[in-house]
Amino acid sequence: MGRTLAGNETLLAEARRARQEMEYMLQAVAHDLRSPLTVASGYVRMLRDGTINPPSGVRAHPLEIVEEKLAECRRLVNELLVASRRDAAAVPARAVVNLSELAERAVDRAWPRALLIGAHLAAETPKRAVPAHGDAADVDRILNNLLANALEHGGERPQVTVAVGHDHGPFISVSDRGRGVPPRDRERIFDRFVRGTASSGAGLGLHLSRRLAEAGGGSLTLDGGNEGPGARFILRLPEPAVAPAHAAA
């Protein structure tokens, strides 16, 4: 009898964990889809109300952006479905990546949203490659989250900079000139479902990003010594074992 009760309690505990993970994944889907859907719906609205009124037959560029963002939604859904089936202890598919290329690619992806809100978005990357050991898809997701966060909290006309460098290891930083993060919240914002008072998100972006960074052997921190207004997040990744002549993005 005792064994049966213990077995039932174990099954109930596993069911609760499974339900919590399902809820977590649903929140992750909602969070990651919010940005591309906002951009796509914004362009459709501007085309409809005449805010964007190109000459007849010259609507290819806005529609290409809408198509690109909808494709991003499909890609995110596929990635999250794969992630939901992946064992939590599985090792990410790490390889040697070029952080400069990943940073520039992230800025290109965020450009349509920056255009919609009148933000200034820039990439500061060295001419030579900055190799690191990491999962390119995970770095993409982290940068997507950091850029979405910076554009949302960067003030009326956000000024966002993505910089790549090497300081005790390869890193990418994302900085803005908004109100910044109060000292009491510098670690708390990385907790699950924690969000700022002005945030419209589910409070998962920074939590997910730190989890991905640590799963890849790296770290994601908020620069406590950042001078001036705004916030600066730093993603650090491990050095490659041997720096190759060409790093893949």
Higher-scoring residue by pLDDT: 10, 197: 10
Q: Is the full-model pTM beyond 0.75?
A: no
In this predicted structure, the answer to whether residue 64 has a pLDDT above a threshold of 50 is yes
Q: Do domains 2-85 and 95-236 have the same CATH topology?
A: no
pLDDT of residue 205: 76
Helix 60-85 vs helix 2-49: crossing angle, to nearest 10: 180
Query: DSSP states of the chain as a string?
Result: -HHHHHHHHHHHHHHHHHHHHHHHHHHHHHHHHHHHHHHHHHHHHHHHHTSS-PPTT--HHHHHHHHHHHHHHHHHHHHHHHHHHS-TTPPP--EEEEHHHHHHHHHHHHHHHHHHHT-EEEEE--SS--EEEE-HHHHHHHHHHHHHHHHHHS-SS-EEEEEEEESSSEEEEEE--SS---GGGTTGGGSTT---TT--S-S-HHHHHHHHHHHTT-EEEE-TT--SSS-EEEEE-PPPSS--SS-B-
For the domain with range 95-236, which CATH number is right: 3.40.50.10490, 3.30.565.10, 1.25.40.340, 1.10.240.10?
A: 3.30.565.10
Q: What is the DSSP secondary-structure string of 102-122?
A: HHHHHHHHHHHHHHHHT-EEE
pLDDT digits 0-9 by tens, 146-158: 998 898 888 888 9
What does the pLDDT read at residue 198?
Answer: 45
For the purposes of burial, counting CB atoms within 10 Å of the CB of 76, is it exposed (0-12), middle (13-18) or buried (19 or more)? Answer: buried
6, pLDDT greater than 80: no
Domain ranges for the chain: 2-85, 95-236
In tens, the pLDDT along 184-224 reads 888 888 876 555 544 444 456 788 888 889 988 999 999 87
**CATH class of the region 2-85:** mainly alpha
Give the pLDDT of residue 125: 95
| pLDDT digit string, tens, across residues 104-121 | 999 998 888 888 788 999
Range in 13-17, 56-60, 239-243 with the lowest mean pLDDT: 56-60
pLDDT tens-digit readout, 29-50: 666 677 777 777 777 777 777 7
pLDDT at 186: 80
pLDDT value for 136? 92
What is the overall mean pLDDT for the chain?
A: 77
**Per-residue pLDDT, 228:** 64
* Residue scoring higher pLDDT (1 or 65): 65
Model pLDDT, residue 23: 67
Position with higher pLDDT, 149 vs 56? 149
At 170 the pLDDT is 97
